[in-house]
Structures are given as structure tokens and as C-alpha cells.
């Protein structure tokens, strides 16, 4: 019987968190339901808008809400924590310092995966908060991977797609392909889906899904 409990700081957004849990479930090779990894999800939907705070459009910091969720999961017995929201990783260091259990870093896991796959330059699809904050680019710089970003018009369109997906809205299934082709034209070897809402869209070859990478790392961590 497993003795590890995966804590998930979720609700950013709810659809993405549900998708993350499904990926974690699908990654496990079990024969009985008792073998599945135990998960405890805190859908902290009241967490203030991360992008608005990072861009200076809101003075309401998401950090207190995220700290509350992390500490609650630790107190409830979680032995490892993940946060399937890229933009919220702006506060990763503060959250990690406030708890005494492992906290997987989605950015570092994705950068390490990209490096292992041999990609030297990637396109990044993410929220404007993530792009402007520069913290995902920093993670790639640590593994010597260059990053290509969408132009302002494309970034605005990506933000609309992301916010349309959050409440469960529908967008055209191949809507990212045109943007991806543009970044590949600038030398990107792969396109990183650096926002968990984008994981809700079907994508083909040439994409790296940060949420898929995090889910695999979580399963491996909790199986040790």
C-alpha cells in the first residue's frame, strides 16, 4: 500500500486541475484501484489573478492564498506538493520556504525535460504574467535553452484563448498551430505549452506540455 499523498494546489483554473488529475491517473499502471496514488486537491479558486498582480494591474497578492493552501495540504498529511498553474510559480520560492515537504517546480521539470530531449530553442505559449515575469525564461536559461516568444498581437490572442478555456469554454481545436508555425519560423525546435489551460487543447507533434511533464514527475516522485 502506498504511504505517500500527493497534495495539489489547484483551482487555477478548475478545468486545468481536473485535467492534471486525469493525466496523473492515466500515467499509472495499476491492476486494482487500491494501487492508485492518493491525491488531495485544494481547489483554491479564490486565489487572486496572478497575471494581473505580476503586471501591476492589481495590488491584491495571490501569495497569502497560495501559502494557506500549501500549509493546509501539508497539515492534512501531504508528503509532496505540486501546483498545476505556471503563472503561480512566480511565488514558488516563498511557498517552498514556508513548508517542510518537497514542492515540485513545474518550470524546472519542464526545462530539464526540454534539455534531455535535445531542444536548443523553444517557443513559449504562456500567460502575459508568465512572459513578463520572465521566470520560465530563467529556468530555460539555466539549461542553456533559448526561448522565442509570440509577438504582441499573438500574445493578446493567447490570453483570450486561456481565459476562454478557464470557465470551460470552447475554442477551435487547431487554433495554436498558426502561432506555433510563426515561432518555428524563428528557429524554435518545439513549442512549450507553458499555461495549464492550454493543456486542455488537442495538440500534435512538436509540442511540450508542461502539465504532462509535471504529472509524470509527480507520479515518479511519489513512487520512490
Q: Flag whether pLDDT at 142 surpasses 60.
A: yes
CATH fold of 107-210 reads: Rossmann fold (3.40.50)
Q: Name the residue with cell 493552501.
A: 69
Q: Is the pLDDT of residue 196 over 70?
A: yes
Are 198 and 179 in contact by the 8 Å Cβ rule? The answer is: no
Per residue in 22-49, pLDDT (tens digit) is: 999 999 999 999 999 999 999 999 999 9
Give the CA distances from residue 39 to residues 50, 79, 89, 216, in Å, rounded to whole numbers and listed in that order.
24, 10, 20, 14
pLDDT at 199: 93
- Cβ partners under 8 Å of residue 7, min gap 6: 39, 40, 42, 70, 73, 74, 76, 78, 79, 80, 81, 82, 101
Is residue 1 scored above 70 in pLDDT? no
The pLDDT, as a whole number, for residue 2 is 58
Could you tell me where in the chain the CATH 3.40.50.1860 domains are found? 5-105+213-222, 107-210
- Which residues have a catalytic role annotated? 85, 195
Instruction: Classify domain 5-105+213-222 at the CATH topology level.
Output: Rossmann fold (3.40.50)
Q: What is the pLDDT of residues 143-172, one digit of tens each?
A: 999 999 999 999 999 999 999 999 888 787
Residue 224 has pLDDT above 80, yes or no: no
Average pLDDT, integer, range 193-207: 92
pTM more than 0.75: yes
Average pLDDT value for residue range 193-211: 93
Average pLDDT over residues 116-129: 97
Amino acid at each position: 500500500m502506498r504511504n505517500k499523498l500527493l497534495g495539489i494546489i489547484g483551482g487555477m483554473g478548475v478545468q486545468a486541475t481536473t485535467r492534471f488529475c486525469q493525466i496523473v491517473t492515466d500515467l499509472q499502471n495499476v491492476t486494482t484501484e487500491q494501487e492508485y496514488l492518493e491525491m488531495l486537491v485544494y481547489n483554491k479558486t479564490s486565489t487572486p489573478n496572478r497575471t494581473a498582480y505580476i503586471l501591476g494591474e492589481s495590488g491584491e497578492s495571490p501569495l497569502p492564498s497560495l501559502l494557506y493552501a500549501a500549509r493546509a495540504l501539508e497539515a492534512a498529511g501531504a508528503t509532496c506538493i505540486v501546483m498545476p498553474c505556471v503563472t503561480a510559480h512566480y511565488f514558488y520560492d516563498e511557498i517552498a520556504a514556508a513548508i517542510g515537504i518537497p514542492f515540485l517546480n513545474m518550470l524546472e521539470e519542464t526545462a530539464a525535460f526540454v534539455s534531455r530531449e535535445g531542444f536548443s530553442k523553444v517557443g513559449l505559449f504562456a500567460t502575459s504574467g508568465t512572459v513578463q515575469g520572465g521566470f520560465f525564461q530563467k529556468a530555460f536559461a539555466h539549461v542553456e535553452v533559448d526561448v522565442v516568444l509570440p509577438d504582441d498581437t499573438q500574445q493578446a490572442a493567447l490570453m483570450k484563448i486561456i481565459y476562454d478555456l478557464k470557465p470551460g469554454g470552447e475554442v477551435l481545436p487547431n487554433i495554436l498551430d498558426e502561432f506555433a508555425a510563426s515561432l518555428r519560423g524563428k528557429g524554435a525546435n518545439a513549442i512549450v505549452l507553458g499555461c495549464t489551460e492550454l493543456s486542455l487543447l488537442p495538440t500534435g507533434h512538436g509540442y511540450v506540455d508542461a502539465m504532462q511533464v509535471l504529472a509524470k514527475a509527480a507520479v515518479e516522485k511519489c513512487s520512490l
